[in-house]
């Protein structure tokens, strides 16, 4: 990945493009994403990037930004400075270009003036049709500023989904852990099915949080315990928040200690 990014930087320098793996950016949304400049549509959340970062000009085909994936995080509304969120993060794949012509305010960056009207070198126009805009923008706010960071292809395309902020993740884990506690306090024979409909192992994250906050396990101990039960435990280990979020949950939930045999979790893997 490092050599790939260096190569892109060299190509960008030769052609005058400005392409970076992370930085400050602005965001808007658009519809009619069916014929993207990259020439290939994609499932999951997609976006157009400003022309200077796209790596091509209108009518000249796909730029070398095509297919790259970025985690986008909103931090402010330039039109409503007093708005403090909540803001969200999503992972998008670049499939289109936001041309400078006709979009000077957002995508008019040039090699001689690399900032747009909002002082940002980059701009992402998030596609409404693929659901990204709806997942990213707060209700009533259609333009934001924030940050972007290049993400792995594994988190892109079909697997692109909302990336929870740490605060939202902690709140979610607190809610689910309290539910598990209540269910087992009602009857220790109760068995709770925890399932992630999106297939990204959030269910394992919930179980891990419960083990840490109510059984007194460390992150490593809960990992070994779940492996011993032959459960799949991806649990965001390759994302940015797993271990930290698991440990953090012990600070927000004070649970009654339970032994593993009274967890109400089957040790049989179907």
User: Please, which pLDDT band fits residue 126 given cuts at 50, 70 and 90?
Assistant: very high
Q: What is the pLDDT of residue 13?
A: 39
**Chain CA centroid to CA 125, Å:** 16
Q: What is the pLDDT of residue 189?
A: 81
Q: Please, are residues 81 and 158 in contact by the beta-carbon 8 Å criterion?
A: no
Pairing of strands 69-76, 122-127: unpaired
User: Tell me: the pLDDT tens digits for 42-69?
Assistant: 778 999 999 998 888 777 778 888 889 9
User: Tell me: the pLDDT tens digits for 219-239?
Assistant: 677 666 666 664 444 444 444
Q: Which of these, 187, 171, 151, 5, lies nearest to 69 by C-alpha position?
A: 151
User: Please, which pLDDT band fits residue 261 given cuts at 50, 70 and 90?
Assistant: very low
pLDDT (average), residues 191-199: 64
pLDDT at 19 over 80: no
Q: Please, are residues 65 and 55 in contact by the beta-carbon 8 Å criterion?
A: yes
SS3 126: strand
Q: Which of these, 96, 120, 107, lies nearest to 32 by C-alpha position?
A: 96
User: Tell me: the pLDDT tens digits for 104-120?
Assistant: 999 998 888 889 999 99
Q: What is the pLDDT of residue 254?
A: 40
What number of other Cβ atoms are within 10 A of residue 12's Cβ? 19
What DSSP designation does 40 have? Answer: -
Q: What is the pLDDT of residue 165?
A: 55
pLDDT (average), residues 7-33: 70
Q: What is the pLDDT of residue 57?
A: 79
Give the lowest-confidence range in 45-49, 74-78, 245-249.
245-249
How far apart CA 33 and CA 39 sit, in angstroms, is 11
pLDDT at 166 over 60: no
- The verdict on pTM exceeding 0.85 is no
pLDDT (average), residues 159-185: 69
Outline where the chain has alpha helix (H): 2-15, 51-54, 104-107, 132-136, 166-186, 202-215, 219-228, 242-252
Determine if the peptide bond prior to 86 is cis (ω within 30°): yes
Q: What is the pLDDT of residue 219?
A: 67
How far apart CA 78 and CA 71 sit, in angstroms, is 20
Q: Please, are residues 109 and 121 in contact by the beta-carbon 8 Å criterion?
A: yes
- For 102-120, b where at least 16 C-beta lie within 10 A, e where not — what string? ebeebbbbeeeeeebebeb
Q: Which of these, 239, 79, 244, 83, lies nearest to 162 by C-alpha position?
A: 239
What DSSP designation does 256 have? Answer: P
Domains detected in the chain: 2-163 (2.40.40.10), 166-262 (no CATH)
pLDDT at 270 over 90: no
If one compares 127 and 220, the residue with the highest pLDDT of the two is: 127
């Amino acid at each position: 990945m490092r050599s790939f990014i260096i190569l892109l930087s060299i190509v960008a320098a030769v052609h005058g493009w400005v392409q970076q793996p992370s930085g400050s950016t602005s965001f808007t949304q658009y519809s009619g994403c069916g014929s993207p400049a990259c020439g290939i549509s994609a499932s999951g959340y997609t976006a157009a990037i400003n022309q200077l970062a796209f790596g091509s000009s209108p009518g000249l085909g796909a730029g070398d930004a095509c297919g790259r994936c970025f985690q986008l995080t909103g931090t402010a509304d330039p039109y409503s400075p007093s708005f403090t969120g909540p803001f969200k993060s999503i992972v998008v794949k670049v499939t289109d270009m936001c041309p400078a012509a006709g979009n000077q305010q957002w995508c008019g960056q040039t090699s001689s003036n690399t900032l747009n009207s909002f002082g940002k070198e980059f701009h992402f126009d998030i596609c409404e049709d693929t659901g990204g805009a709806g997942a990213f923008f707060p209700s009533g706010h259609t333009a934001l500023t924030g940050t972007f960071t290049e993400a792995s292809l594994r988190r892109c395309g079909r697997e692109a989904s909302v990336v929870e902020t740490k605060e939202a993740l902690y709140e979610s884990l607190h809610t689910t852990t309290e539910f598990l506690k209540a269910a087992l306090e009602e009857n220790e024979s109760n068995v709770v099915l925890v399932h992630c409909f999106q297939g990204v192992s959030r269910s394992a994250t919930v179980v891990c949080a419960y083990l840490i906050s109510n059984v007194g396990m460390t992150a490593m101990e809960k990992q070994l315990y779940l492996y011993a039960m032959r459960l799949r435990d991806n649990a965001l280990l390759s994302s940015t928040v797993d271990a930290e979020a698991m440990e953090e949950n012990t600070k927000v939930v004070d649970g009654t200690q339970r032994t593993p045999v009274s967890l109400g979790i089957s040790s049989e893997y179907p």
